[in-house]
């Protein structure tokens, strides 16, 4: 069911178990995965992670960068007919937008699914909590000279937790 995205009753043909048993097995499997791998993979970055990512970004010429941000459109083949218009993408079929920040190891540090009516990348970025503190307008002076920094200091990293996030 996870691998092919099929409903529980569709697995009855080759597994030979009822859909309620298939759903219960899937729930137990997911709970076991979270229990076994949760402390390592389902966590926020800690001070060491942030320092490592900043160091890697600096060594690759991007000081202050924790990861790469990208948005992708995911085709939603089982979208309810009534919602099709809200989630309609450029392809004509319903899509959901996934915004992800990942590091060079493809470790996903942030994931956000777009809301109805936000089916373009700019709208997803505007409602994402990653950019909540940024000013919408770019206030750069394009005629200002470019500063070249030969030395980059190692930043002090202070983690601030937010239980509401």
pLDDT tens readout for residues 98-131: 888 888 777 888 888 876 555 555 666 666 666 6
Helix (H, G, I), strand (E, B) or coil at 165: coil
What's the confidence (pLDDT) of residue 88?
Answer: 76
pLDDT, position 152:
47
Helix or strand (DSSP H, E) at 112: strand 108-113
Question: In the prediction, which pLDDT does 67 show?
Answer: 83
Average pLDDT on 17-41 reads 89
pTM for this structure?
A: 0.50
24 CB neighbour count, 10 Å cutoff: 13
pLDDT score, position 15: 79
pLDDT value of residue 28: 95
In this structure, what are the phi and psi dihedrals at residue 113, rounded to the nearest 5 degrees?
-100, 135
Q: How far apart are CA 101 and CA 53, in angstroms?
A: 12
Q: Which of 64-68, 94-98, 151-155 has the lowest mean pLDDT?
A: 151-155
Looking at 42-160, list the stretches that DSSP marks H as alpha helix, in order from N- to C-terminal side. 47-59, 121-127
pLDDT at 36: 92
């Amino acid at each position: 069911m996870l691998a092919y995205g099929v409903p529980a009753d569709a697995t009855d043909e080759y597994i030979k178990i009822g859909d309620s048993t298939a759903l219960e097995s899937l729930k137990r499997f997911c709970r076991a995965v979270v229990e076994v791998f949760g402390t390592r993979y389902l966590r926020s970055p800690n001070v060491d992670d942030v320092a490592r990512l900043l160091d890697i970004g600096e060594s690759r010429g991007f000081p202050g960068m924790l990861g790469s941000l990208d948005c992708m459109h995911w085709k939603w083949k089982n979208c309810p007919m009534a919602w099709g218009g809200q989630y309609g993408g450029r392809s004509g079929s319903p899509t959901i937008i996934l915004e992800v920040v990942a590091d060079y190891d493809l470790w996903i540090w942030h994931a956000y699914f777009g809301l109805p009516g936000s089916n373009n990348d700019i709208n997803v970025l505007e409602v994402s909590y990653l950019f909540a503190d940024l000013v919408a307008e770019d206030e750069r002076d394009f005629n200002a000279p470019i500063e070249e920094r030969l030395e980059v200091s190692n930043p002090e990293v202070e983690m601030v937790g937010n239980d509401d996030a």
